[in-house]
Structure 1
Amino acid sequence: MPSPALRDTRMRPCRRARALCLSTLLLTLPIMTGCLSTPIAEQTPPLPAQWRNALDATPAAAPDPRGWWGAFGDPRLDRLVDEAASANLDIQQARLRLRAARTLYAHAGDALRPELHARTSNPVDPDASASFFVAGLDAVWELGLFGRGEALHRQAQGEVDAADADLRDARITMVAEVTRNWIELRDALEQQRLASAIADARREQLRLQQVRIDLRLAPRDSLEPLRAAVAQAEAGLSDPRQRIVAAEQALAVLLGRAEPDPDWSGGEPRPVLAMRAIERAPADLLRTRPDVAHAQALVLRAAAEAGLARADRYPRVALGGSIQWSANITAHRRTETEGIGVFGPIIDIPLFDWGLRRARASAKGDELQAATYAYRKAVLTGVAEVETALGALEQQRLREQSDRDAWRALARAADGEAARKRLGLASEIDVNARRIERDQAALELNAAATQRAMAYIAVYKALGAAPGEAPGEDADAHRAAVASERSRP
């Protein structure tokens, strides 16, 4: 058996080689870690400085994007939005998904930190002459070389950004849908009131015409058109009643309720929308629109996947060590216990795989480029949607103004006909005819005002405005997670 001194002399070259290998690895670690970072090309298209279809002259300042529905001046709508902000089920789901993504982000780099495992096994010799009980500790520390570490962080950050965009989209959709359905409900109630008034006037016309027929002042066949008009007026009541039910049920779902509130059908008629300017710059869409933020998150995730595919083409380097204890039990009932430890680099070098790794890296690079084009399209689509919504809002304003002028003219005609009747210069039939014309014009005006309100809602939905919405909500919690991630060894 060699002496201890001789064994030590033989092991010195191995120790020196191991030390040299580790020193070289540690010196080249910073270079291999950052030299292969996957770049992300800037693909944001040039944006216009101002909106082409925005209103120029307005009597009031633009509303706060976080409370744009306040332009309706309806306290009940404000309360509904506040309630839905905390009770809406879509928002609660999106909030939990964002929390889950941030939790995983805080551990994004754990795969590249030292890991320690304990294991046991009980192998038996093939000749059944001895059995073993092996217990040991294995430690592995994979080094995030060739851009792998940055890719893992980008992947986790992309998940966080996508979840954050989904939460913002849920809030934007919630406030837009609550406002839209509330306006629909108020409009349907007003439509029901006007349709009921028209139906009553038609019935009165039918009654008066029957009186004239009984007095032989009109032919009997003149009664049929009036009966048809009464039937049509009564049929017109079904549409607002159906709209009332649909709007109430939609509001209940948005507020997380099983049944609508009976008080929603009472109170004031449809609120009046104040004309206000849109002062937000197009560049704000990059910060507020959730689809743009989601497309940007997809770019980040595609860059992460491209980075991982690229890193897979290079060696995977880790530092590993293990300590094992073995109890040997032979067939003669003799027991021996031994222990051994080992430490050194673990290197996995891809040599030949028929070009699969290269193909994956090339494919992921193309997917990254496609994601950047999708981001560019999302930006352009957002600008186009806002411009379209602004143009529709202006056209609806002009339509409402024309319908208002028509209603005022017919209202003056109805008032004049009523005055002539009081002077004995007109009949009740003429008065009812003018009232019906006035109420039908009021229906048209009510529909125009509702369409302008819907266009106003569409503008702020396209702008990406929502209650309490701010890019990176709960940013303090996220920054704390980032600081915790960076401070861990």
Structure 2
Amino acid sequence: MLNRAALRNLVCGCLLSGLLGCAAPVPKVATPLPAQWQHAMAADPTKPSDLQGWWHAFNDPQLNALVDRALANNLDVAQAVERMLATRAIHRRAGAKYLPSLVGRTDDAIDPDAHASYFVAGFDANWEFGLFGRSEGTRREAQGALDASVADLRIAQVSLVAEVVRDWIELRTAQQQERLLLQINQAHLHHWQLLKVRQRLQLVAPAEVDQAQALSAQSEAALAEPRQAINASAQQLAMLLGQNQPDSAWLEPGTQPDLGEFQLNAAPVDLLRTRPEIARAQADVLRTAGELALTHADMYPSIGLGTSLVWAATINDTSPRSKTPGGIFSLGPLLNIPLFDWGIRIAATHAKGHELQASVLAYRQAVLQGITEVETALGTLQQQQLREQRSTIAWQALQRADHAVQSRVQLHLNSPLDQIESQIAADQADAQLVDARAEHSLAYVALFKALGGAPLPSAAVLGSAAPKNPATPATTDGALR
């Protein structure tokens, strides 16, 4: 049989364990990921996709440099870094609330009978134990806030990289479109001039000349669209890089970014776990679980230990009694026992319970949203890749036809007007190919934005918030697997 001392120790141990373990566990939510994508690309598990440097597939040194500059200078990312650092500073000391604290104080006191006044100085030490789930709730709340700030930083970086690549593609595409429309406009102008000569020779009707003039004017008006796109894209790039005007080098026509023969080696479903919006929703679940634990703990007593050491010296005394400086020490438990509050604490606990369920549903919604965006991007990427291939075939065929017409014109077997029409058709096919190539590239950007592709924040920035394995987002309390 247990002796009295052993029985007392056992009862105290069980009671203490119960007090310390009152916080409810974080709900475990299965991630509703599909077994595979409906629009599966060429899969090769030995060649995983590069989520942290996916834009290098364009083989564009200027683009690579722009992304690096944007990550270093973008103001949205800089704000997210500062907010993350602020949250991390609070997180580091979140548990200190349940450690002993020491306060020094002074005061001037007057007797209720107004016969004497005193100068009081001393120290107060308090130690709240954080029982009934308070310490665990505080830890969850602080960790959830930190995880959310890291996810917000990742969201800003992913969005920034995608925007920089998209604007660069649109800038270079607009420059190529402007070049081709200028060629088409020159051809239409030449065609109109030739027809005016023929009109003077009464070889064509005036209506045909008017039609040629209209086509020339329309082709010149079409130049406004790419020029406007060039200006807008350059200004947007400047803003993303944290500067007030575009670099002059951007406005010099350059090669359009092209994926070439690039093939997506693999897009496993697990890549979706890197999506920062999902990590943000996961952090909200943990933070809300912490808030629920704290509201639940408020229904139970707050238990701690307090001590004071106080000295008092008489400043003024009108009573006949003599007062001399003295000190006193006190030590005892601190209890704050809730008794009656018209059900406010119970209502707060129920409300936080509903908020926790809402955050769990929001997590599942974030996963489904990610699946939808990735599936859409995969389907679009396939279709745009096919469109580019067919546009390439059409352009090559019209190029061959144009060369054949040029040869016949040189042999005086065709009219120069036939050559102009052939050239316009080839340039129009080239413009369609440029547009198809751009749409293919933009679909590629949309896919990796949906997957959360961007360089990871450096360990120096994240500090203690850095995950143990950068390739896998950290989970909380074993939950949300």
Q: 1:200: Cα distance to partner? A: 0.2
Structure 1 partner of 2:267: 280
Q: Give the gaps of 5 or more residues in structure 1.
A: 1-22, 481-489
Q: Is residue 96 of structure 2 the alignment partner of residue 96 of structure 1?
A: no
Structure 1 partner of 2:333: 345
Counterpart pick for 2:292 among 300, 306, 317: 306
- Going from structure 1 to structure 2, the CA distance change for 1:468 and 1:36 (only over 3 Å counts) comes to closer
The one-character-per-residue Cα deviations of 1:262-283 (angstroms, maximum 9, x if unpaired) are 1112253202213321513212
1:453 aligned counterpart, secondary structure: helix
Query: Are the counterparts in 1 of residues 43 and 267 from structure 2 also a CA contact under 8 Å?
Result: no
Structure 2 partner of 1:205: 191
Q: Which 4+ runs in 1 deviate beyond 3 A?
A: 23-30, 60-63, 332-335, 472-480
The one-character-per-residue Cα deviations of 1:237-288 (angstroms, maximum 9, x if unpaired) are 00000000011011111111111111112253202213321513212322x1
1:82 aligned counterpart, secondary structure: helix
What does residue range 103-182 of structure 1 map to in structure 2 within 5 Å?
Answer: 103-182=89-168
Counterpart pick for 2:380 among 375, 392, 400: 392
Query: Are the counterparts in 1 of residues 42 and 263 from structure 2 also a CA contact under 8 Å?
Result: no
Q: Is residue 365 of structure 2 the alignment partner of residue 377 of structure 1?
A: yes
CA distance in 2, matches of 1:83, 1:250: 14
The one-character-per-residue Cα deviations of 1:221-240 (angstroms, maximum 9, x if unpaired) are 32111111011000000000
- Going from structure 1 to structure 2, the CA distance change for 1:105 and 1:322 (only over 3 Å counts) comes to same
Amino acid paired to 1:69: W
1:340 aligned counterpart, secondary structure: strand
Q: Is residue 438 of structure 2 the alignment partner of residue 450 of structure 1?
A: yes
Q: 1:371: Cα distance to partner? A: 0.7
Query: Are the counterparts in 2 of residues 61 and 276 from structure 1 also a CA contact under 8 Å?
Result: no
Identical columns (%): 44
Q: Is residue 228 of structure 2 the alignment partner of residue 261 of structure 1?
A: no
Query: Are the counterparts in 2 of residues 180 and 457 from structure 1 also a CA contact under 8 Å?
Result: yes
Query: Are the counterparts in 1 of residues 409 and 419 from structure 2 also a CA contact under 8 Å?
Result: yes
CA distance in 2, matches of 1:243, 1:160: 40
1:344 aligned counterpart, secondary structure: strand
CA distance in 2, matches of 1:40, 1:462: 27
CA distance in 2, matches of 1:153, 1:465: 30
2:450 aligned counterpart, secondary structure: helix
Q: Is residue 361 of structure 2 the alignment partner of residue 354 of structure 1?
A: no
2:334 aligned counterpart, secondary structure: strand
Q: TM-score, normalised by structure 2?
A: 0.90
- Going from structure 1 to structure 2, the CA distance change for 1:28 and 1:99 (only over 3 Å counts) comes to same
Query: Are the counterparts in 1 of residues 154 and 456 from structure 2 also a CA contact under 8 Å?
Result: no
Query: Are the counterparts in 2 of residues 134 and 324 from structure 1 also a CA contact under 8 Å?
Result: yes
1:276 aligned counterpart, secondary structure: coil
Counterpart pick for 1:233 among 209, 215, 219: 219
Q: 1:449: Cα distance to partner? A: 1.0
**Count of residues in correspondence between the two structures:** 455
Q: Give the gaps of 5 or more residues in structure 2.
A: 1-8, 468-481
CA distance in 1, matches of 2:400, 2:47: 33
Say what the alpha-carbon RMSD is for the aligned residues.
2.2
- Going from structure 1 to structure 2, the CA distance change for 1:364 and 1:420 (only over 3 Å counts) comes to same
Structure 1 partner of 2:27: 41
Structure 2 partner of 1:484: none
Q: 1:166: Cα distance to partner? A: 0.9
CA distance in 2, matches of 1:406, 1:377: 43
Structure 1 partner of 2:464: 477
Counterpart pick for 1:440 among 388, 403, 428: 428
Query: Are the counterparts in 1 of residues 137 and 293 from structure 2 also a CA contact under 8 Å?
Result: yes
Q: 1:157: Cα distance to partner? A: 0.6
Query: Are the counterparts in 2 of residues 33 and 149 from structure 1 also a CA contact under 8 Å?
Result: no
Q: TM-score, normalised by structure 1?
A: 0.88
